[in-house]
Amino acid sequence: MVRLLPWLVFIAAIAGWEALVRIAQVPHYILPAPSLILSTLGQNFDSLAPAWWYTVRITFGALALSVISGIGLAGLFVLSSWVERSFLPFAIVLQVTPIVAIAPLILIYVESTTAALLLCAWIVAFFPILSNTLIGLRSADVHLRDLFTLYGATRWQRLRLLLAPSAAPYFLGGLKIAGGLSLIGAVVAEFTAGAAGRETGLASRILEASFRTETPKMFAALVLVSLTGVAIFAVFSQLSHWLLGRWHDSEQ
């Protein structure tokens, strides 16, 4: 029953939305009913699917870059304090600078729109991976650290055999955050770019629909964005449970 409760609440909310629109006779260009959004999604799926796939590619491309760069840089920070002092301020600046403020500059300097969108999404998703992994690498038990020192472990052995396993729960937590942020970054960057044409994502479809006052189509594209974000979170949550369920308290 506990597992069904969120679904029951969600179904009740959708049913209430449908009833409100029908009873109040709200025009579809102001607030479409869920049934109209669903039918619009089905009718326009052939045009929305390529845009959805483009957004997914940008999202996972940025996420992959975030994982590689975040883990690599966190490892360097742990192994060398002067590297951390030198480069951590740059990572913080990237995190605190709104992407909508720097996206226009990136679009000017980067010739390829796809590369520019990928870079914008990476900037948004990078810091949670770096920050969580860095915290995890420093969370290893102090007694185990002393034991590794006692046995004369090298820096690489300490990182691979002690610090990396300790960082796994923190990294997976950051991965769930970064997955959603990479999707947000991809969509926001495309809104800023105002891109048009065949090789564009769902943000462009939302913009096109808004210009034509096709509100149901806007909601249909938004549903695809939301479902993608939920799917990303669900996949990484399941991955975290699979990897940590047998030994870490966070998944018990």
**Can you give the residue ranges of every domain in the chain?**
41-245
pTM above 0.85, yes or no: yes
In this prediction, residue 20 carries a pLDDT of 94
Query: pLDDT digits over 192-242, tens only?
Result: 876 544 568 899 899 889 888 899 999 999 999 999 999 999 999 999 889
Query: pLDDT digits over 62-91, tens only?
Result: 999 999 999 999 988 988 889 888 998 998
CB atoms within 10 A of CB 122: 24
Residue 177 is encoded by which pair of tokens?
């955050």
Query: pLDDT digits over 141-199, tens only?
Result: 888 888 888 888 888 888 788 888 889 999 999 999 999 999 999 998 888 876 544 56
The pair phi, psi for residue 148, each rounded to 5°, is -65, -35
CB burial of residue 31 (10 Å; 0-12, 13-18, 19+):
middle
More confident residue, 113 or 24: 24
DSSP letters, 100-165, are HHHHHHHHHH-S-HHHHHHHHHHHHHHHHHHHHHHHHHT-S-HHHHHHHHHTT--HHHHIIIIIHH
More confident residue, 244 or 33: 33
The CATH fold assigned to 41-245 is: MetI-like fold (1.10.3720)
C-alpha angle 112-115-120 in degrees, rounded to nearest 5: 125
CB atoms within 10 A of CB 128: 23
For all residues of the chain together, what is the average pLDDT? Answer: 89
